[in-house]
């Protein structure tokens, strides 16, 4: 026979987990992850959700001669910022779910 009390408890647990995930996402949104490349000539700041918050470009790079260098540095900075934000997000969401931070390499898939 089906026990409605157990269903109610399960629904409460699901609701609590959803609230924890939303709280974790807000914390990630507020977290700054700075990345510097090219000896600090290009800096990118993303939040824990991977959203770009700020970009700094050294004025020396703002010439036509440095166009390719600047493009390469921006790509490198954005890729590194993306990688770091995924690590931070995976760790945070694993904590909320009560899972190990490297759940069988699952974090690498995010």
Q: Mean pLDDT across the stretch 97-107?
A: 59
Q: Which domains occur in the chain, in start order?
A: 4-109 (3.30.1310.10)
Helices 67-97, 4-30: axis angle to 10 degrees equals: 150
pLDDT value of position 110: 46
CB 48 within 8 A of CB 85: yes
Residue 45 φ then ψ, to 5°: -120, 125
- Strand order of the sheet with strand 32-37? 32-37, 42-47, 52-57
Kindly report, residue by residue over 2-27, the tens digit of the pLDDT.
677 788 888 888 898 889 889 999 99
Kindly report, residue by residue over 53-93, the tens digit of the pLDDT.
999 999 999 999 999 999 999 999 999 999 999 999 999 98
pLDDT value of position 102: 57
The DSSP letter of residue 41 is T
């Amino acid at each position: 026979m089906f026990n409605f009390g157990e269903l109610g408890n399960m629904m409460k647990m699901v609701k609590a987990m959803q609230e924890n995930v939303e709280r974790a996402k807000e914390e990630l949104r507020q977290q700054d992850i700075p990345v510097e490349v090219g000896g600090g000539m290009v800096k990118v700041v993303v939040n824990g959700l991977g959203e770009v918050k700020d970009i700094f470009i050294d004025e020396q790079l703002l010439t036509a001669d440095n166009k390719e260098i600047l493009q390469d540095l921006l790509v490198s900075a954005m890729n590194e910022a993306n990688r770091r934000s995924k690590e931070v997000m995976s760790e945070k969401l694993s904590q909320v779910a009560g899972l190990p931070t490297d759940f069988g390499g699952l974090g690498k898939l995010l």
